Structure 1
Amino acid sequence: MKVKRQNLQIGYSITGGKISLPYYIVGPDNKGQSIYIQGGIHGGETTFFIFHQLIHELQKTKILGRITLVPICNPYSWNQKIYYYTSGKFSLYDGKDFNRNFPGSSSGTGAERLARQLSNLASDSKFSIDLHTANRSRPYLIIPSKQYLKIAKASNMCYSIIFDMHEATKKGGGMPFTAARIIEKQKSIAIECGSHDEFDQQNIDRTVEGILNILNYLEVIRIRTTQKGKSSNANRQFYIDKLKIYRAPVSGFVKYLVSPEESFSKGQPLYKLYPSATLGKEIVTKAKENGVVIMHADTNTVWEGDYVVEIAPKQNIHPL
């Protein structure tokens, strides 16, 4: 398998040193379809494990096209370490989400210039995949519309969530990478690869298998029979067209009672909250409908009104 490592210079540090990021081109330069995959736009989203396993799995396939891999596409966000933790979702310079700068500007802020260079790097690809991690969750696809349901089906991943990128952009701020690629007439999806800032081998296996299945469907690779069905991706697949958030009624400490991807019934307790203002008291929040937990907050400490659990109501879950 042909792999070519290259460096993209994105700017200069305060000391005058060059800031660059490595990326990898897998396969022939001028043959077959071209696919672009990036991760790490937000510091602390540990999708690097996905790329590490993916490059080894690709060696077992027949490469039919060109795949550009950018494992850590935003060095700025990964340099934002605060008390042992990488806090890289929002820029400390202007408070802006790093994934709301696309398609970017060559004369803008450092993050906007980076976004422009990443957009240029992805511009000659027919399809792009943007990898992220979420709160406590299992892997799922984010697709812009029902037109992507065939790709979702091919991935063999359990859940695909339809998310209107253009509507999200209208609410304020800039544009996510996926929305910018779609506007520039390129097909694009995002994958939430599991929980934020953790190593979970099951999540890694499920995500890598999903990516391989998509690349196989797009005829960029040909998967060998021995690679099929390796992970625990479900045989039953669903798409979701609406999510619902449960918020904390008061400030306090949370015990989660239902895990991500776990089904629940109306009236079933979802989480228990211990109010910090009243020692010894417990508040149990029960489900108002049947559904499935998609994710819950990445903390057991909440303020009044904070997001606690995000669910998919049963009426918004549809078989693929």
Structure 2
Amino acid sequence: MPQFNKNTITILGEEIPLGASREINFNIAKLHTGTKIEIPIIIERAKIPGPTILFTAGIHGDEINGVDIVRQLITRKINRPKRGTIICMPILNIFGFLNSTRAFPDGRDLNRMFPGSSNGSLASRVAHRLMHEIIPDVDLIIDFHTGGASRFNAAQIRIIKDHPELDELARIFGAPFVLYSNHIAKSFRNACYQLGKPILLYEGGKSFYVDNTISKVGVEGVKRILAHYGMLHHRIACSAPKRPTVFIEDSKWIRARQSGMFKSTVTVNTKVNIDDVLGQITDPYGKIFHEVKSTIEGYIINVNEASLVYQGDALFHITKQVRA
């Protein structure tokens, strides 16, 4: 990461000097009533120059576990750096957050609208302003997500392969797993990559739910990253991960072979072997009892917690090839 020594950074047109604390409102739109819709951006700059790190969450309005992680960074004053700059944006998709939906009011997924357009849809305009008025002065982004619908993700960092800098940062973060995944076209992660901005995507938990363990892993990972760059205050404790991070080279979904009432008997992070029973599918009439078994050996990194499933539904995500 470049060690920028900028005395002043510019966020949404406002110049912010070293040693300053700011809360800037990202004015993205108005309601039909004329009420402004604004996203608070919390900026903390130390007096000593250093990297600028951006923490974002809530790009999908139903992914509130990430919002809780960034909230904790602020309330516990972890976002006040010893050197450099920390920018926190707890909720990118304020519309979805307020309405308990994943997308923007027009049905668009903000995370498929990057790098955006100044003349496009509302989501596209928000993406465009984020990329042009906030990202340019940022050196590293950590973006917090959760699993979708009823699928509970193990705490994991997602990065692209063959980038040693990202491998190092992911190892420092110390989540239990690192999953190599390609960039998705028009995603925030891809847009940052195109600008040469390193980004770690943290996945953990599920939609509409806050899991304390997932939050703790996220907060502790942030502290390790800040400590690595000499940005974490000495008054804030930072511990090493309890176990080495597992890097996932390949993985496989175990899918339902029939429809019915589903109950998992294992949890995320569990190491399983071939033919281990993972759960069961039954019917309301007591005629069906089907055991879901693992077809591979590996760690479970996602569990579908839905009570009712259809044939073909993804039930368990299991690692196939891993390395320490």
Find the counterpart in structure 2 of residue 238 from structure 1: 246
Counting only pairs closer than 5 Å after superposition, residues 284-299 of structure 1 correspond to structure 2 as: 284-299=291-306
Counting only pairs closer than 5 Å after superposition, residues 19-38 of structure 1 correspond to structure 2 as: 19-28=37-46, 31-38=49-56
Q: Report deviation, 1:281.
A: 0.8
Matched residues, percent identical? 23
Answer whether contact 2:223 2:238 (CA < 8 A) is retained.
no
Counting only pairs closer than 5 Å after superposition, residues 123-142 of structure 1 correspond to structure 2 as: 123-134=136-147, 135-142=151-158
Q: Report deviation, 1:202.
A: 2.2
Distance 2:124 2:89 in 1: 17
Q: Tell me the amino acid that sits aligned with residue 30 of structure 2.
A: Y
Decide which of 114, 124, 130 is 1:118's aligned counterpart: 130
Decide which of 74, 82, 85 is 2:93's aligned counterpart: 74
Find the counterpart in structure 2 of residue 272 from structure 1: 280
Counting only pairs closer than 5 Å after superposition, residues 56-75 of structure 1 correspond to structure 2 as: 56-59=75-78, 62-75=81-94
**Count of residue pairs brought into register by the alignment:** 299
1:102-160 Cα distance to aligned partner (Å, 9 max, x none): 11111111111111122221222011111111131332111122421111111122211
Find the counterpart in structure 1 of residue 61 from structure 2: 43
Find the counterpart in structure 2 of residue 101 from structure 1: 113
Q: Tell me the amino acid that sits aligned with residue 161 of structure 2.
A: S
Q: Tell me the amino acid that sits aligned with residue 251 of structure 1.
A: S
Distance 1:44 1:65 in 2: 31
Find the counterpart in structure 2 of residue 283 from structure 1: 290
Answer whether contact 2:50 2:84 (CA < 8 A) is retained.
yes
Q: Report deviation, 1:55.
A: 2.0
Distance 1:145 1:5 in 2: 36
Answer whether contact 1:60 1:224 (CA < 8 A) is retained.
no
Greater CA deviation, 194-203 or 116-125?
194-203
Residue aligned with 1:239, SS: strand
Greater CA deviation, 182-191 or 44-53?
44-53
Q: Report deviation, 1:21.
A: 0.8
Q: Report deviation, 1:56.
A: 3.9
Find the counterpart in structure 2 of residue 227 from structure 1: 237
Answer whether contact 2:44 2:79 (CA < 8 A) is retained.
no
Q: Report deviation, 1:222.
A: 3.2
TM-score where L is the length of structure 1 = 0.86
1:200 correspondence with 2:211:
yes
Q: Tell me the amino acid that sits aligned with residue 156 of structure 1.
A: G
Answer whether contact 1:50 1:207 (CA < 8 A) is retained.
yes
Answer whether contact 2:252 2:317 (CA < 8 A) is retained.
yes
1:204-249 Cα distance to aligned partner (Å, 9 max, x none): 1211010111122234x1353861228xx43222111222111122
Q: Report deviation, 1:289.
A: 1.4
Find the counterpart in structure 1 of residue 322 from structure 2: 317
Q: Tell me the amino acid that sits aligned with residue 298 of structure 2.
A: G
Answer whether contact 1:144 1:189 (CA < 8 A) is retained.
no
Answer whether contact 1:212 1:223 (CA < 8 A) is retained.
no
Answer whether contact 1:163 1:241 (CA < 8 A) is retained.
no
Answer whether contact 1:145 1:163 (CA < 8 A) is retained.
yes
Answer whether contact 2:28 2:39 (CA < 8 A) is retained.
yes
